[in-house]
Amino acid sequence: MSKKTGSFTLPGEAGYEKLTLELAEKWGADVIRDSDGTVLSDEITKTGYGIYSTICIIRDHNEWAKKHPDKLQQTFLMSDPVTAGSGDSVLVIRPLSGYFTEQFRVNDSADSIRYWQVFDRTADIEVDRSKWAYNAASGEVTINDCVPYHSYTVNFLAFQIWEQISMYNHVTNNWDKEHLMPIDPRTQECRDYMTKWFTDWCEAHPDTTVVRFTSMFYNFVWIWGDDERNRYRYSDWGSYDFTVSPKALDDFEKEYGYALTSEDFINKGRLHVTHMPPTKKQLDYMRFTNEFVVGYGRELVDIAHKYGKKAYVFYDDSWIGVEPYSDLFPKFGFDGLIKCVFSGFEARLCAGAKVDTHELRLHPYLFPVGLGGLPTFSEGGDPALDAKKYWISVRRALLRQPVDRLGLGGYLHLTEGFPDFVDTITGIVDEFREIKELHADGGVYTLPIRIAVLHSWGSLRSWTLSGHFHETYMHTLIHINEALSGLPVEVKFISFEDILSGSEKATEKCCDTTSCCGEENGSNKEDQAAEKKNMLGNVDIIINAGRAGSAWSGGDAWNNPELVAKLQKWVYEGGIFIGVNEPSAVSDSMYGFAMADVLGVGLDDGARVCHGKWTFDIDKELAERVFVENGTKKAANGSGSDDVKLPCKPDIYLTDGKAHVLAEKDGIPVFTMHEYGCGKGVYLTGFEKNNTSTRMLLNLLMAAKGLDKEQNYITDDPDTECAYYPGSGKLVVINNSEVEKHTEVKTEKGTIGFDLKPFETKIDKI
Amino acid sequence: MSKKTGSFTLPGEAGYEKLTLELAEKWGADVIRDSDGTVLSDEITKTGYGIYSTICIIRDHNEWAKKHPDKLQQTFLMSDPVTAGSGDSVLVIRPLSGYFTEQFRVNDSADSIRYWQVFDRTADIEVDRSKWAYNAASGEVTINDCVPYHSYTVNFLAFQIWEQISMYNHVTNNWDKEHLMPIDPRTQECRDYMTKWFTDWCEAHPDTTVVRFTSMFYNFVWIWGDDERNRYRYSDWGSYDFTVSPKALDDFEKEYGYALTSEDFINKGRLHVTHMPPTKKQLDYMRFTNEFVVGYGRELVDIAHKYGKKAYVFYDDSWIGVEPYSDLFPKFGFDGLIKCVFSGFEARLCAGAKVDTHELRLHPYLFPVGLGGLPTFSEGGDPALDAKKYWISVRRALLRQPVDRLGLGGYLHLTEGFPDFVDTITGIVDEFREIKELHADGGVYTLPIRIAVLHSWGSLRSWTLSGHFHETYMHTLIHINEALSGLPVEVKFISFEDILSGSEKATEKCCDTTSCCGEENGSNKEDQAAEKKNMLGNVDIIINAGRAGSAWSGGDAWNNPELVAKLQKWVYEGGIFIGVNEPSAVSDSMYGFAMADVLGVGLDDGARVCHGKWTFDIDKELAERVFVENGTKKAANGSGSDDVKLPCKPDIYLTDGKAHVLAEKDGIPVFTMHEYGCGKGVYLTGFEKNNTSTRMLLNLLMAAKGLDKEQNYITDDPDTECAYYPGSGKLVVINNSEVEKHTEVKTEKGTIGFDLKPFETKIDKI
């Protein structure tokens, strides 16, 4: 295959055979796929292209499902609370009231009711089982001996009677067809059925070269309400709640030696959102389910392989038990991972997974409307512009770490009115192939900056928090991950447990002097070496970024003096701890941040409202180093560049007055740097991803690490970036903006200027 | 005395006898006082005016203090934290490091060191006494066996060697004189000295008719730092920390049967700020001290009385143990309470105290510069305008509840260049006398709205939180108290304990039907009557307003199902619960607000970030009722009037979707009303006091109570207010703005129009 073909998956469409083959030629496709709602004709499948076929193994089995209504997937739900009035010693609750009854049906089998619980939420205590009963005929729970003006809820199990993705498409597009039910492979009976069905399917699809599993068995959690004013009651792209069943819970108890209750899932009606720190029980249950999904998933993959087909999995966005960064993931035996991408962090998520083939499904999909209902391939849409905008987010990530393939999805015929789009994709795919080739010639040049992002989930949730950027934009960390995805630095994701268990390697350097920072060090060298084995030796910078109490900040994990002392030691010996928003936040503590000694700032929960605040001057030299970029007009003053949106957090205060303040808002420091031994604590009130803030972050990383400001292979305009590949001597310069740019890059061979058109990529051998 | 004289206290000044007597005549003074830094000559004291003499009983005794250095007032302090490095198994801490050494001296007596404590703040544990020692010679604490990278602090006792008010004046005015030391009446020896001194003083001041105690013995807490960048390390106008001593603590243990520790005061370095809920130990210690202050204070008052003098106390702002709303306050036997006022809530604080004479000290003081260093009686100052602005805040409160006297303070000669000011005071004093007379003819007309402000301190902190408005502006409640201070409603302040202990009277009315809201009520009437005795029967509206965890919201008090159930019952039977900012906030709970069932809104701590949000429409009818006032252009749309500054709180959400939304910001409800049985829950994200928001609050109170919109004796312009006195048939209309206003008032005899000059008061008989 020539340089200009291959590595691209085209969505084919029966009835548009000519178009399919034309575009396959134009875009240099080597694979043709089907999509939801399309089929491929023989005219397409017999032309020698590779053929992907899409399978969602747990739906489209309504006939079997109707015969086995107890084998549907389930979930715990909590009834809406009902308050007892003065005379209401007896309350009656209809559990499903308020939920979308087309999605759920109460599971009122004896097996299920064992797991139900009733709570007095006002007193925060469980109601004894002797005081309540479920009446199957009326569908009501009756609670006796209620306390007046206390509020009661029922935790119960419900079957999912409409598979949610299908439900969403059905409702959105006003389809008129049978509701698809999700079947649960937890029972042997169901697995036997699915295994046979899949074997038959492989027999019936000889032309298929790749089975594309639309993930495995369990969806993320999406609970609908009956009121259109709150249809999407709950949406968590990382939650395991839709995997429960009496059998799963019974199996869990046998395996883990303790029983889970409904309340372990319901958690006062709040459930356990992925953005909060997981509990031990939650992690146990996830592991239990992850092992189950991998175990049976492997059986299906083996069948595909037996039929000479490859098995790829489509991971969008975290279909349950299929996390690519779980240590169990390689056991699936998948040949490829396909990830739909809007953002750079999603490209890195895909690129870093341990699998042979990494493929990105680009946006926009070939659908009439896109995200939020705006037109794409219909009147008023500009799919070429959309494609360019998504591409510049993804492109910078691919400069750092490559993937193997790109692809599109949807209805190919929709491209017919949009020749601009066709040309844009041609350009993108060509650019992609060139970038891929650069990586093949050796790695990309990276600054000597090794970053660990520290949060409760660690590597399991590398790059993604859960879901897409637009679903998680309220979390500081996704902005940071997105910025990091294209920066010339090393990035990994670690958990608090990683630090405590000492899974990190020995430190490589401390201070230059033997006694760190000139202070006497009384312990002997052997002790130090032994200790360092447990420290973050191969990390230069740790980033902890999130709201207090969240999984991204860490919550109670910080109430551990061992963790704090280890990190303080690491910083003291030269590490850099960057905290953003409410890092290391702990309630009822001296300073509000467990790492306050390092950061030099604290978070007041109101207990310090009578305490004085240190006045400060802006450290202009440091602020200029971080905010100002040569040759740009995006200079910043003490209050920070307008583009670098650092919010005012009135509860932030300087602890010892020694932090350098780089920016302030309304008199409150919003960006600080604090010396701590040989290391530093850096604090920012927030981070909002854009070109300028991304460059500010890079400047900060370089300044904190102590690198000289003048580095090779950094552009001088924040709207542009570059990547240098020493193996081939090639320099890629990209324009991440919609306007023309001139940018200069210092290289080993002198400074080189580039004129770039909007969105343009230029590749020069230097 | 004619109507135009009396009820006014003039600050006299020796050397300006003519001016003193002229202004006494012009302003109709009946009393002349001295001030800090002024004396009265015989020419003044012998003219037949009443004479106030100022006494601060605990300072100006340096000779005695030097002989008794162990009898100075003391406080607990916490050393700044010091972190142990790798080799630092031994740490050395200088306790006073970072504090202003002119204010404090370490008390290193054996008696004192008994109460010292050392803490490992990283591990949050006390260090055993065997592991640390204080070296008096070096002034250092040595701590052994420190854990590397843990942070340590020392709690210690320090003497106050410079009385803080004197220190402030000294430093601010660059005085060059001896530092005054505060002596502590806790020992009999000191009390004997003070008693004799005061007796001698009474003997020596036969012309004095009123002894004006500049409060009693203990100052609010004001801890200075040694660094000018953080001079005021801590300022709490309500704290008792400056009353401690080994003897006080020993006495406490004898009386209460348990010992207090230094950490009970230090609280991880945060101390116990008045704005946070008090602990049981804190309340015990306050009671203990309050009784002591009242006990010895009474002895001094008795001496004054024995000499035929009256005893007034100057309460500014909460000199310790002198809270006018403590049940112990009447035991002092004071004849009068003097309160300096900037605001209406301070006028109400004074007016409501149980004492014969209530006097307000107006601002501005006759000083060259005022608050924040801006000129008043010096070039560039406009003291007449200042006086008018303060007066319009105070005036509206005095229309609701009268005081007996006004007064001024400072250096009278400074008025000489400001004839406008002299005229302004003439007008204010005349207005005041008229208003006072109206009250004497019978009470003011009030709407049938009885409000209880609910917080942790209850009536002890009626009206004030602690300190002036400008010191507490960051707390929502002070804005509400200030608005309420001039509204035609009844207001009281209650604690959670008041509700739990059932100290409130029986309810007067519930719904019109016997079964509340048409629901069957199973309990019999006797049970109901018994229960109602414990309820808030004589209250129509409860307001709970503050930040989560604060004393004003309530903190852990809300983790009490009995409290919640009692309040829910009260609302269900017709009460109105208004929550502002983070009312009834409880962490780790179902909805974030304990009163969420009533309010219909909750507060998300991050655990609900994946939960759906109810969409809503603005209830325009309700919004118009509350926001729009007849005849004004200050209409509001769905997002609330610009003048009614309701902040966006992104974590607020509708719980059941049933709340009426009166205003939103950025898609988040910021003002809601929720039906609950016969009652209502009202929620506002915040409240910022100004004329428009004050009128909005009145409209809200009327609407929530179910009063007709068209009420008598309400002006139709929010910049104006009025008060009607049925006894005399007089209507007072006031202009609270700096511009001319036309306003109309509906009365029993028809609507009357008024044209008002800026700041003007008009009194008409109707």
Q: Could you give the percent of chain B with pLDDT greater than 70?
A: 93
Does residue B685 surpass a pLDDT of 90? yes
* B410 and B514 in a common domain: no
Last-in-domain residue among A440, A465, A481: A440
DSSP A506: P
Mean pLDDT of A22-42: 90
Q: Is B448 exposed, middle or buried (0-12, 13-18, 19+ CB in 10 A)?
A: exposed
Q: Give the tokens for residue B757.
A: 């000059």
In one-letter notation, the amino acid at residue A202 is: C
**Which residue matches tokens 């968590």?**
A236
Least confident of A237-251, A253-267, A311-325: A311-325
DSSP per-residue string spanning A325-375: TSTTGGGG--SEEEEE-SSHHHHHHHHTSSSSEEEEE-SS-BSSB-GGG-B
Residue B641 reports pLDDT greater than 90: no
Cβ atoms < 10 Å from Cβ of A529? 11
Contacts of B666 in chain A (CB under 8 A): none
Write down the H helix ranges in A628-737.
691-705
State the pLDDT confidence band at A432, using cuts at 50, 70 and 90. Answer: very high
Q: Do B85 and A609 touch (CB under 8 A)?
A: no
Nearest residue in B to A226, CA atom: B614
What's the pLDDT at B317?
Answer: 62
CATH number at residue B745: 2.60.40.1180
Interface test with A, best of B279, B572, B610 (most A CBs within 10 A): B610
Q: Are residues A411 and A388 in the same domain?
A: yes
- Listed by number, the residues of chain B in 167-206 with a beta carbon closer than 8 Å to a beta carbon of chain A are none
Measured CA to CA, the distance from residue A276 to residue A289 in angstroms comes to 20
B34–chain A nearest CA distance, Å: 32
Using the Cβ of A637 and the Cβ atoms of chain B, whether some distance falls under 8 Å is answered with: no
Domain hosting residue A741, numbered range: 720-765
Residues A633 and A761 reside in one and the same domain = no
Q: Is the pLDDT of residue A145 over 70?
A: yes
| A490-504, B510-524, B706-720: least confidently modelled range | B510-524
Tokens 């069932």 belong to which residue? B597
Least Cα separation, residue B38 to chain A (angstroms) = 33
d(CA A606, CA A587): 11
* A155 close to A116: Cβ distance less than 8 angstroms: yes
**Cα-based torsion angle of the residue sequence B379, B385, B386, B392 in order, rounded to the nearest 10 degrees:** 180
Mutate to test the interface with B, among A99, A149, A553 (most CBs of B within 10 A): A149
Q: Compare CB distances from A606 to B550, B564, B614 and report the shortest one's residue.
A: B550
pLDDT for residue A510 is more than 60? no
Q: Look at residue A91 and tell me if it is in a domain.
A: no
Q: How many CA atoms lie within 13 A of A145 on its CB side?
A: 10
Do the domain assignments include residue A166?
no
Average pLDDT, chain B: 92
- Whether A85 sits inside 8 A of B572 (CB atoms) is yes
A residues 644-663 near B, CB within 8 Å?
Answer: 650, 656-657
B471: contact with A, CB 8 A cutoff: no
At A641, the pLDDT band (50, 70, 90 cuts) reads low
Which pLDDT belongs to residue B631? 41
**Given A236, A268, A610, which is nearest B235 (Cβ)?**
A610
Span B13-70, pLDDT tens digits = 999 999 999 999 999 999 999 987 778 899 999 889 999 999 999 999 999 999 999 9
CB B417 within 8 A of CB B454: no
End-to-end CA distance of chain A: 27
Q: Which of B440, B466, B481 is the last residue of a domain?
A: B440
Q: Does A473 touch chain B (CB under 8 A)?
A: no
B758 and B735 Cβ atoms separated by less than 8 Å? yes
CA pair distance A165, A143, nearest whole angstrom: 36
Question: Residue A427: exposed, middle, or buried by beta-carbon count in 10 A (0-12, 13-18, 19+)?
Answer: middle
Nearest to A431 by CA among A117, A208, A760, A677: A760
Q: Tell me what the mean pLDDT of segment A506-520 comes to.
A: 41
Confidence of residue B517 (pLDDT cuts 50, 70, 90): very low
A428-467 residues touching B, CB cutoff 8 A: none
Span A440-463, average pLDDT:
95
> Between chains, do A86 and B611 touch, taking CB under 8 Å as contact?
no
Same domain? For A428 and A557 the reply is no
Q: Considering only residues 265 to 324 of chain A, which have any Cβ-Cβ distance to chain B shorter than 8 Å?
A: 267-271, 273-276
Say how far apart CA A329 and CA B654 lie, in whole Å: 40
| Residue B498 sits in the same domain as residue B625 | yes
How does residue B369 score in pLDDT terms, banded at 50, 70 and 90?
confident
Whether residues B463 and B602 share a domain: the answer is yes
CB A180 within 8 A of CB A59: yes
Which range of A536-540, B376-380, B721-725 scores highest in mean pLDDT? It is: B721-725
A318-322, B125-129, B522-526: which has the minimum mean pLDDT?
A: B522-526
Cis peptide before A364 (omega within 30 of 0): yes
User: Taking residues B735-744, what's their average pLDDT?
Assistant: 95
Instruction: Compute the count of residue pairs across chains A and B with CB atoms less than 8 Å apart.
Output: 205
Whether the pLDDT of residue A582 is over 90: the answer is: yes
Active site residue B317: yes
- B524, B463: one domain: yes
Based on the fold, state whether residues A571 and A532 are members of the same structural domain: yes
Mean pLDDT of all residues in B520-524: 43
Spell out which residues of chain A touch residue B234, defining contact as CB-CB under 8 Å: 610-612
Q: From the CA of A86, how many Å to the nearest CA of chain B?
A: 6
Question: pLDDT tens-digit profile of B528-551?
Answer: 444 444 447 799 999 999 999 999
**CA angle at B728 for the pair B723 and B733, rounded to the nearest 5°:** 25
Q: Which residues of chain B make contact with A548, given a CB cutoff of 8 A?
A: 606
CA distance B91 to B127: 12
Using the predicted structure, report yes or no on whether residue B636 has a pLDDT greater than 50.
no
CB contact under 8 Å between A572 and B85, yes or no, is yes
Same domain? For B608 and B483 the reply is yes
Catalytic residue among A34, A317, A386, A619: A317
pLDDT score at A632: 46
B631: DSSP letter = T
Residue of A610, A614, A653 to mutate, testing the B interface (most B Cβ within 10 Å of its Cβ): A610
Tokens of A438: 């650069």
What average pLDDT is seen over chain A? 92
Residues with Cβ within 8 Å of residue B734, at least 6 apart in sequence = B392, B395, B396, B399, B720, B721, B722, B756, B760, B761, B762
Q: Which listed residue (B34, B236, B316, B317) is catalytic?
A: B317
> Any CB–CB contact under 8 A between B587 and chain A?
yes
A149 and B572: CB-CB below 8 Å?
Answer: yes
What's the mean pLDDT in B257-268? 98
Tell me, yes or no, whether A180 lies in a domain: no
State the nearest Cα–Cα gap between A509 and chain B, in angstroms.
16
Amino acid at A564: V
Q: Which of residues 511-530 of A touch B (CB under 8 A)?
A: 516, 519-523, 528
* pLDDT of the residue at A372: 73
| Of the partner residues A523, A565, A615, the one whose CB lies closest to the CB of residue B229 | A615
Whether residues A412 and A541 share a domain: the answer is no
**Predicted TM-score (pTM) of this structure:** 0.94
| Judgement on whether residues B604 and B734 belong to the same structural domain of the protein | no
**CB of A39 less than 8 A from some CB of B:** no
**What is the b/e burial string over A648-661, where b = at least 16 CB atoms within 10 angstroms of the residue's CB?**
ebeebbbbbbebbb
> What is the reported pLDDT for A629?
52
**CB nearest to B549's CB, from A80, A273, A605:** A605
pLDDT in tens, A184-238: 999 999 999 999 999 999 999 999 999 999 889 999 999 999 999 999 999 999 9
Helices (H), A573-637: 596-599, 620-627
pLDDT of the residue at B318:
61
Considering only the beta carbons, identify the residue of A269, A564, A609 that sits closest to B275.
Answer: A609
Q: Is residue B590 part of a domain?
A: yes
Residue A260 domain-assigned (yes or no): no
- Residue A634: the pLDDT is 46
Alpha helices, H only, A110-187: 110-113, 164-172
Give the closest of A89, A236, A561 to B123, CB-based. Answer: A561
For residue B115, being part of any structural domain is answered with no
User: Looking at residue A667, which CATH number applies to its domain?
Assistant: 3.40.50.880
- Mean per-residue pLDDT for B282-304? 98
| Chain A residues with beta carbon closer than 8 angstroms to that of B569 | 86, 148-149
Q: Which residues pair with A3 in a beta bridge?
A: none
Tell me the C-alpha distance between A557 and A569, whole Å.
17
Q: Within an 8 Å CB–CB cutoff, is residue A507 touching chain B? A: no
Contacts of B677 in chain A (CB under 8 A): 85
> Is A615–B521 a contact, with Cβ atoms under 8 angstroms apart?
no
Phi–psi pair at A318, nearest 5 degrees: -160, 50
pLDDT band with cut points at 50, 70 and 90 for residue B316? confident
CA distance A654 to A668: 9
From the list A80, A235, A572, the residue facing B610 with the nearest CB is: A235
The number of folded domains in chain A is: 3
- ipTM of model over 0.90: yes
- Domain match, A213 and A349 both: yes
Residue B742, chain A, CB below 8 Å: the answer is: no
What's A369's domain CATH number? 3.20.20.80
Are B124 and A270 an interchain contact pair (Cβ–Cβ within 8 Å)?
Answer: no
Tokens found for residue A479: 């902005």
pLDDT at B681: 98
Query: What residue of B is the nearest CA neighbor of A566?
Result: B149
* Segments in B450-593 forming alpha helices (H): 469-472, 476-484, 496-501, 525-532, 561-572
Cis peptide before B364 (omega within 30 of 0): yes
Residues A235, B151: C-beta atoms closer than 8 Å: no
Strand partners, B581: B546
Closest CA to A462 of A560, A568, A339: A339
Give the domain-ending residue among A681, A705, A729: A705
- The pLDDT value recorded for residue B309 is 98
At residue B639 the predicted structure's pLDDT band, cuts being 50, 70 and 90, is very low
Q: Does A639 map to a domain?
A: yes
Is there a domain that residue A196 lies in? yes
B contacts of A122 (beta carbons < 8 Å): 561, 564-565, 568
Q: Report pLDDT for A53.
A: 95
A560 in contact with B at a CB cutoff of 8 Å? no
Beta strands in A393-449, from DSSP E residues, in sequence order: 405-407
Pairing of strands A652-654, A601-603: antiparallel
Q: Do B516 and A122 touch (CB under 8 A)?
A: no
